Amino acid sequence: MERLQKVIAHAGVASRRKAEQLILEGKVTVNGQVIKELGTKVTNNDRIEVEGVPVNREAPVYFLMYKPKKVISSAKDDKGRRTVVDFFDHIDKRIYPIGRLDYDTSGLLLLTNDGDFSNKLMHPRYGIEKTYIAKVKGIPEREKLKQLERGVRLEDGKTAPARIKIQSIDKKKQTCIIEMVIREGKNRQVRRMLDFIGHPIMKLKRERYAFLTLQGLKPGEIRELSPHEVKQIRALAEHGRNAF
Ligand code: URA
C-alpha cells in the first residue's frame, strides 16, 4: 500500500506537491472514482488515472551513464541527433535523464523512470555536489578563480559558492585543466562561469555526482545503480547539504 500522491509522483506525472494539488482539484481517479483525500492508500492492483490518463506504474530503475560527447541529453531531438535515451533501446521502460549535460560535454549522467527521485535531485535546494573537469584557454589568475568561488553574476542570477582547483598548466599551449565543484545546475553553467572570467572552455567533462564516479566505465557505457547507492543518493537529496 502506498500513498496516492507518492505513486503519481513516482510515475513521473508530476512532483509530489503538484500531485497533491491534482488530487485536491478532483483530477485523480482510483478505479473510476474521484479521490480528493490526500492520505488515500492504493495497491498495485488499483487503476489510477490523472485527468483521464492512466498512470503507468512500472518498477523504478536507476542508471549511471558515461555520456559521450556529441550526444543530446534529452529523450528526443528534432534534428535527429543521437540521444542518451538511444543507449537504452534494450530496456523496455520510459527512462529519461536527470538534468542535462551539453551536447559537447561528456561524463556522468543519471537516468531513471522515477519522477519523484528525479525531481528531488534536480531541486536546487538539495544542492548535490557535481565535479567538472574543464580544459580552458589561457591561464586564469588566482583572483579570477576566487571570484568564481565566491559567485559571479550571470544573466539568470548570481552563482552559488564553488570550489576550484587548477590541476595542471600547459605554459607552451597556454591552456590549463581546472577542477570545479558546484552544487547548482543552471543551463551551461560551467561554460558561462569560465566565459565570464575570459577563459572559455575547450573541453568539459562531469567526473563526479555526489559520491558517484565514472570508475570502470568507458564513454557510451552504462551501469545500474545498486539499491544501496540509490538509497544513499536519495538520503543526500533529502537531508544532505555539504556546504563549502
Ligand atoms: N555546465 C556546463 O556548462 N555544461 C554542462 O554540460 C554541465 C554543466
**202 and 230 co-located in one domain:** no
120 or 4: which carries more pLDDT confidence?
A: 4
Asked about 102 being catalytic, the answer comes back as: yes
- Mean predicted confidence (pLDDT) in 49-63: 86
Pocket, ligand 1, Cβ cutoff 6 A: 101-102, 105, 188-191, 204
**166 and 232 co-located in one domain:** no
Domain CATH code at residue 16: 3.10.290.10
pLDDT more than 70, % of the chain = 97
Indicate the residue type of 206: R
- The whole-number pLDDT of residue 109 equals 98
Centre of ligand 1 to C-alpha 123, Å, is 17
**224 and 118 co-located in one domain:** yes
- Mean predicted confidence (pLDDT) in 44-48: 86
What is the per-residue pLDDT across 168-185, written as a single tens digit (0 to 9) for each? 999 999 999 999 999 988
**229 and 118 co-located in one domain:** yes
* Active-site position among 102, 114, 156, 170: 102
- The whole-number pLDDT of residue 240 equals 65
Distance of alpha carbon 132 from alpha carbon 11, whole angstroms: 31
Strands 222-224 and 130-137, how do they pair?
unpaired
- Mean predicted confidence (pLDDT) in 215-241: 91
- The whole-number pLDDT of residue 244 equals 45
**134 and 202 co-located in one domain:** yes
**156 and 188 co-located in one domain:** yes
**120 and 234 co-located in one domain:** yes
**144 in any annotated domain:** yes
Secondary structure string (H, E, C) spanning 221-238:
CEEECCHHHHHHHHHHHH
Task: Tell me which residue range forms the domain holding 21.
Answer: 2-54
Distance of alpha carbon 206 from alpha carbon 204, whole angstroms: 7
**244 in any annotated domain:** no
Total domain count, the chain: 3
Centre of ligand 1 to C-alpha 56, Å, is 32
Atom 3 of ligand 1 has which residue's CA nearest to it?
A: 188
